[in-house]
Chains A and B, each alone.
Chain A
Amino acid sequence: MEALGDLINGFATALTPVNLLYAFLGVLLGTAIGVLPGIGPAMAVALLLPLTFGLDATAAFIMFAGIFYGGAYGGSTTSILLNTPGESSSVVTAIEGNKMAKRGRGAQALATAAIGSFIAGIIGTLLLVFLAPTVVDIALQLGAADYFALMVLAFVAVTSVLGASRIRGFISLVLGLTIGLVGIDLSTGQQRLTFGVPQLADGISVIVVAMGLFAVGEALWIAAHLRRRPAEIIPVGPARMNKQDWSRSWKPWLRGTGIGFPFGVIPAGGAEIPTFLSYVTEKKLTKYPGEFGHGAIEGVAGPEATNNASTAGGLVPLLTLGLPTTATAAVMLAAFQQYGIVPGPLLFENEPELVWGLIASLFIGNVILLVLNLPLAPVWAKLLRIPRPLLYAGILFFASLGAFAVGGSPVDLLVLLIVGLLGMMMRRYGLPIVPAIIGVILGPRAEVEMRRALQISGGDISGLVNTPLSIAIYTIIALVLLWPLVNRFVIRRFRTPAREVPVGHTHALVELAEEIAEEPVEPEPSRAASTTDRPDSTERLP
């Protein structure tokens, strides 16, 4: 029970007035950006990265963690009231949540989402407390070859499991890795991809890339698609639930937590798949199958608990191995690097105050979020009235300010713009952003580990596969990569597919979920029309 003692010390760090204030600021900001579609926690943390120059590390991470969780909370509000998910992890919530709101049960939907998120967040953080030291013990045994294999796994998982197509995922990853290569090679001193520009010799700052891809890219994309018919928002009072809602919600909350946490831990990228799985599970297990597709509370409770649990799970690989599984985690990793802290097993030994303070602040953040969200959901919905030109002008301003603050050089501003244009083109051609940002941030570290492994083995390629773990990981990678071929040529021959689940296609997942939701218990033709009115905005969520 050593972890408990550490946790109590963590609370001592997190409960100082200054750190409490940063936790509060973080969750406030996190919820706000979670509510606004198109602006995610990854962008918010990226915009705040320049703060790392002045703020003490513990305070900064307590704030970032608040944003991390707040984003997962806030996304549900927009899903339920507007049918436009604020975050990609809340896409599934919109299916039942918006129907509940249309039936006048918006307050209950908001309540089950907030309380479910709270319970999942608390349980997920507890699991993190007890799991992290164990993972650290294992991680301490790992060598360079193992780390490299883990990072390759993260690259492959994030490209093949997420997004519309693997090819697009890999294109995005290669773009990210290439940006990560710019600068002087640390082992040989050669300049790579600097085109003779001296300012590029130090490499492109991760801060500039993150702000370019998330903030400038999104702002340009929105500017190109500004006019849109306003969506109809469903007015709602403060969130509340009755006894029946409680009894129908608590099981989905716990099941959602059980589904979400493991998916957060493995590098499978984000909460889309587990939230979908949770939805399908609830649909199967419900005692009220007739309500699914018309606003069943289980269909909100399960996925919302799932996405918060997977957020908590995502912190396990980030803190113990330095492996980000989501865009936000990747940007937080960049923040660690700004402080010269290497996340990984040694983090728990070298920076116990920071790590345990961060974990303790997650508990505090969850409580603040619950208190903020139950009574204030209607207030958050008011944020949606902000005209986007004002919003994005602000974002562009802070991005430019931050990029200039990195080195005080105009070259950084130019790079910011170029990366921003790249980000916009990636959105235009449907390339996912997450693999790129993970490539930029994790790529250079993967290179270091690979070279270390090769130096140990004297340049022999077998040095990369000489441990049991690395062999096991490469086997998994091979399976992930070959699965579509196996699926196409072997499995289909032996059985007719009952229902094809297109893993990795969020859109297809949503359509499928809607299809399942629509599956009639008693056929009713009038329902078919109601699904076609979904706004098209979900497709450009990063």
Chain B
Amino acid sequence: MTVVVGYVPRPEGRAALDRSVEEALQRGIRLVVVNSSRGDALVDSGFATEAEIEELRGQLESAGVEFEIRRPVRGREASDEVVDAAKDVDASLIVIGMRRRTPVGKLILGSDAQRILLDAECPVLAVKAG
């Protein structure tokens, strides 16, 4: 039994992370943080830097939660990585962050959140930033 959170170094990712820590502590179970990249661009702003991961580690340690950080780079979408990680660890909850988007923006960009909602086999908690 674990909580899986999809993390990006942006406000919505941090909101999701904070909420997932709360959930994991409340349920007394482990937290798996997934921060992935397709790895096909030279720079990916969604992929946290080493410094950010270190900071994250410190934050999780001080919160006193048992955790694991996964950072797969193998050409797959973030949604696939989160859903697979959830299946892999038999998650009881997935936490994701969402940002505000106009209907048109959503139509064009597609949505990792939507894919996770459709594909996940456990409850999904969506958190909005701020």
Contact = CB atoms under 8 A, between A and B. Distances in A.
Are both chains from one complex?
Answer: yes
Interface of A: 36-37, 82, 84, 226-233, 381, 384-389
Q: Could you say which of A36, A226, A230 has the most chain B C-beta atoms within 10 Å of its C-beta?
A: A230
6 closest A-B pairs by CB: A230-B44, A384-B43, A384-B42, A227-B39, A387-B40, A232-B49
Contacts of B40: 226-227, 387-389
A227 B74 contact: yes
A230 B35 CA distance: 12
B19 interface: no
Given A226-B40, A227-B74, A387-B38, 19 more contacts: A82-B42, A84-B42, A227-B75, A229-B39, A230-B37, A230-B42, A230-B47, A230-B73, A231-B43, A232-B50, A233-B43, A381-B43, A384-B41, A384-B43, A385-B43, A387-B40, A387-B41, A388-B42, A389-B40
Given A226-B75, A227-B75, A229-B73, A37 B42 contact: yes
Interface in B21-48: 37-45, 47
B34 to A, nearest CB: 15
Interface of B: 37-45, 47, 49-50, 73-75
25 contacts: A226-B40, A227-B40, A227-B73, A227-B74, A227-B75, A228-B39, A229-B37, A229-B47, A230-B41, A230-B43, A230-B44, A230-B47, A231-B43, A232-B49, A232-B50, A384-B41, A384-B42, A385-B42, A385-B43, A385-B45, A386-B41, A387-B38, A387-B40, A387-B41, A388-B42
A36 B50 CA distance: 23
B17 to A, nearest CB: 20
Nearest to A235: B45
B42 A226 contact: no
Contacts of B37: 229-230
B73 A228 contact: yes
Nearest to A226: B40
Contacts of B74: 227
Contacts of B41: 230, 384-388
Contacts of B49: 232
Nearest to A36: B42
Contacts of A384: 41-43
A407 to B, nearest CB: 34
A229 B49 CA distance: 11
A82 to B, nearest CB: 7
Contacts of B75: 226-227
Nearest to B51: A232
Nearest to A381: B43
A389 B40 CA distance: 7
A64 B17 CA distance: 50
Nearest to A228: B39
A206 to B, nearest CB: 31
B43 to A, nearest CB: 4
Contacts of A385: 41-45
A250 to B, nearest CB: 32
B100 to A, nearest CB: 21
Nearest to B47: A230
A231 B39 contact: no
A265 B95 CA distance: 62
